[in-house]
Amino acid sequence: MKTSKIGMIMLGDGREDLSKVTNDKNWIVLGKWKQIIEDRLKNIDDSHPEVVVGSKIITSIQIAKEIGNELVEKNCNIIIVCYNVWNFPFFIWPFINTLGRNKPLLSLSNNNGEYPGNVGLLATDGALRQIGMRTHRIIGDINDKTILRVFNWVRAAQAIANIRNEVFGLYGGHSMGMETGFFHLIPSIKTLGATCYQIDQLWIEKEMNKVENSIAEKGFKWFESLLGERIKYDGKLLTPEILKTQIKLYVAVSMINEENGFDFCGLKGQRELTEYICTADVPEMLLNDPYDWNGPKETMVCATEADANAAITMQLLKFISGGLPILFMDVRLYHPDRDLWDFCNSGNHASWYASRSFNPVENFKKVSFHPAEFFFKAGGASVEFDAAPGEITFARLGIWDNKIYMVIVKGKVLDLMPEDRKRLNNMTTATWPHAHTKLNCEFNEFINLFPCNHIMGVAGDFIDSLIYLCEIADITPIVLGEDGKKRIKPIWEQIVK
């Protein structure tokens, strides 16, 4: 999985006699942090961010410039400035001005009375903030609590550094006039660096004609072996031929993504594909899943209905989580008697969430394919399952007056009794995937602050990383529930401009 290099440096004392005494201790700290990050901060494919440690402790202006150039040459896009002893704060300027000020920056210090690194941190980081740099500070001994905070920040910094210069492959434009799904060029590039290239859905159809029948047959046999009679053929809207068409659509989009260098994508679907080709539920599932009939693969974020802000949110969640599949759902129905949400959508539920397993056999035990009806004239398979229980972090980017914000809320998918799930699912669309969700916020808070009809989610607790991400990128985080009450707003949010 894609990662960005982390440049790690240590600021030291400018007095040679003192630096000789303390530098051995400084090198030990740098080595520990490098080892901890590289050994323990793993993505789902076992990759990890590379930590490049500056070759010298910064104890002079000349060394500061030298190390700045060194990290530039090694393409470091994230910076951790370590403090283990008192340092000369002004050394930060020749370093940072050589390296560049537009990179996520963490100031990291011990909490030691004998060697007051935290004093040096506050003096130096305070200078950076005086010119308006958004920095983060973590002070603490190297223990599990401090390590977790550092990991949360690094995941956020990785997401920001990774998405810069990425391209969103937009197939067909926003669907059915849903303007909350429109790609807003200026705020997206200005805030995150991500841009967009739009391709007509006709391109997909032409590319599908190039997909060999043997490839579609291989995918078809894979599905039949996994699902058997749970492929509910009806001889009209769902036939083996239409399912093979859906498989060819998946292969065609994958080919176009690779040929054009798209990092993530969105399919308009309605109405051209759904009325003249097939519904894209199966292709969207496969793109977002960590496997197909060829074995394990990296997920390719794909947003249904070409919802651009959904796709960007999903890509950020993918990086935050180390590569987990991301859910895309409609905010469909609230059950006030149970304070329960039913999140469901015709496409985009990665089958991984059926059992949260990287073995497709385990997930597809709970999946059924139904004929796509009502909305989808061209037919195809609708994917149906109930998401497995567990913690999920939900998020969604929105825009207020051309300014990006993100709504964040933690929740839990519940493990309901089968008859209970069936009853609730029949109140919406039973043949679609569902996530029966308890949110950690009140109904009125959610419904008044959430930006649109589509919500994204990722397994696990990533609240703190998402907050860091927003603060790094100058995105306003709207954190719902008790987590929002605990958040300390950074100084740049509290100063009136």
User: CATH fold of 167-494, please?
Assistant: L-fucose Isomerase; Chain A, domain 3 (3.20.14)
**Mean pLDDT of all residues in 107-123:** 89
**pLDDT surpassing 90 at residue 319:** yes
Residue type, 89: P
**Mean pLDDT of all residues in 314-323:** 98
Angstrom CA distances, 262 to 47, 122, 180, 330, stand at 21, 42, 22, 25
**pLDDT surpassing 70 at residue 106:** yes
**Mean pLDDT of all residues in 104-114:** 91
**Mean pLDDT of all residues in 226-248:** 95
**Mean pLDDT of all residues in 168-196:** 87
**Mean pLDDT of all residues in 299-323:** 96
Q: Quick one: pLDDT band at residue 180, thresholds 50, 70, 90? A: confident
**pLDDT surpassing 80 at residue 245:** yes
Q: List the structure tokens of 227.
A: 């699902």
Q: List the structure tokens of 13.
A: 């004392």
Q: What whole-number distance in Å separates Cα of residue 283 and Cα of residue 274?
A: 13
Angstrom CA distances, 355 to 45, 348, 493, stand at 19, 16, 40
> Using an 8 Å Cβ cutoff, are 50 and 26 in contact?
no
What CATH number is given for 5-163 in this structure?
3.40.50.1070
Q: Quick one: pLDDT band at residue 496, thresholds 50, 70, 90? A: low
**pLDDT surpassing 70 at residue 296:** yes
Domain ranges of the chain: 5-163, 167-494
Give the model's pLDDT for residue 114. Answer: 81
In percent, the amount of the chain with pLDDT more than 90 equals 85
Give the model's pLDDT for residue 497. Answer: 58
Instruction: Tell how far CA 494 is from the center of its chain.
Output: 27
Q: Which residues pair with 304 in a beta bridge?
A: 267
Task: Report DSSP letters for 58-79, one per residue.
Answer: B-SHHHHHHHHHHHHHTTEEEE
User: Nearest to residue 472, comparing CAs of 195, 187, 161?
Assistant: 161
State pLDDT tens for residues 406-463: 999 999 999 999 999 999 999 998 999 999 999 999 999 999 999 999 999 999 999 9
Q: What whole-number distance in Å separates Cα of residue 413 and Cα of residue 249?
A: 31
Give the model's pLDDT for residue 274. Answer: 81
**Mean pLDDT of all residues in 259-277:** 90
State pLDDT tens for residues 355-401: 999 999 999 999 999 998 767 788 889 999 999 999 999 999 999 99
